[in-house]
Homo-oligomer: A and B are copies of this chain.
Amino acid sequence: MNILIKNVDVIISGSEQNIIRNGNIGIQGDTILFVNAGGNTPPGFNPDKVIDGKNRLAMPGLVNAHTHSSMTLLRNFADDLALEEWLFNRIIPLEAKLGPEDIYWGTMLAIAEMIKSGTTCFADMYLHMDEVARAVLESGIRANISKGPLVSNLRGKPGISVDSEGCMEYFKTWNNQGNGRIKTCVEIHSVYLYDEMSLREAAELAKKLNAGIHIHVLETEAERNNSIRMYGMNPAEACLEFGIFDVPVIAAHCVHLSDSDMEILKSRNVNAVHNPGSNLKLGSGIARVPDMLDRGINVCLGTDGAASNNNLNMFEEMHLAALLHKGVQCNPTLMNAKQVLKMATANGASALGFGDDTGYIDEGMKADIILLDIDKPHLCPVNNPISAVVYSAQGSDVDTVIINGEVVMENRKLLTIDEEKVKYKVKEIAARLSGLR
């Protein structure tokens, strides 16, 4: 389908303050054919659909670079608790009760929430990942989904089992499906759940598949101590040593990095995901994001799962990321709005393996575009559109979402997801889980 968005203000990217006023965006199939500052559309371009951009702001879709999407099912079940109580006594016992169908509906709810708050691409790591892939395929969203060959005793199973074949099968089945919307990678939950041999084996598998790895790195101080006890090395050093950093890596959290850990990440081009909402809520600490950015590390943004956030709203994560470090370091010039927007778009796209053709709005890029309704008191006067997006906007300001050239939401109505059915199913599951508490 050909789509013309006309008379619209456009934030091209966060990488430079490149704003087009009253421009046009032309989309042909899954690709942006042109972006111009108004005037005529190119000869021969016949749109099947015209979207009026009046009072709208177009910008690249947001990239949620680390989540466990179907943890939406556990939203607001347990809050304000110490980490161990929360994880081991509340969350894990509930997770043990989740079957594949539950994961499907939880993921669908997550995707509905993400699209409704402007996220067009996400990275997922959780259970029953075939169901996650199915939900991604059906909903039209873009995603990097991971499958782990390693199963530890975290969830009550003895020892560590390795399922390389299952992982290869997953990769074969899902990688590049959905017209390239799906990329798969290898999940290694963290270094602390396994042992050296299994970690090396998982890293080898990623190399063999030519795939990346999605892993939690240094979320807590305890993680550092455990790793040193287990391996004589902290998690960043262990990842380097065991070959995990030999492939493209999505490293979630990165809260407790030392200077030398940052040097390791930078030297291997590891992508760091900042999850401010979750890190604050769980009391994990505050990642040294300005230091990472100064070193040229590709830092992106994520929500983590809804059980520790408790939503999947990237506007809130941008807001937190922009405010937090200024306050902690008493320096209002840190983490400016452009940097934060870039973290939430181009940096995330790059980390998830979609950086070649998504993350900003330009000719030849895939059409992952969101439109914000800016005709609202809290966005009046707009003045600086990038500041407005990072400091003033809410997720609910997103009015229209286009992913890979397909309109998946228009006037806040989801077009590829039966929202009522999804909410109904999730409420059923939550009622069952409540009964089990």
Contacts and interface: CB of A to CB of B under 8 A. Distances in A.
Interface of A: 72-73, 75-77, 79-83, 86, 109, 112-113, 116-117, 221, 276-277, 279-286, 306, 309-313, 316, 319-320, 322-324, 326-337, 375-378, 380-384, 387-388, 391-392, 394-397, 419, 422-423, 426-427, 429-431, 434
Closest 8 CB pairs of A and B: A280-B327, A381-B430, A283-B332, A280-B323, A80-B336, A396-B396, A113-B377, A310-B391
A132 to B, nearest CB: 16
Contacts of A86: 332
Number of copies: 2
A205 to B, nearest CB: 35
Contacts of A312: 378
A125 to B, nearest CB: 21
A429 B380 CA distance: 11
A74 to B, nearest CB: 8
Contacts of A395: 378, 394
Given A277-B323, A323-B280, A426-B380, A333 B80 contact: yes
A345 B112 CA distance: 31
A382 B283 CA distance: 23
A311 to B, nearest CB: 5
A419 B375 CA distance: 10
Given A281-B332, A311-B378, 5 more contacts: A75-B381, A79-B336, A279-B327, A316-B316, A383-B430
A392 B330 contact: no
Contacts of A306: 392
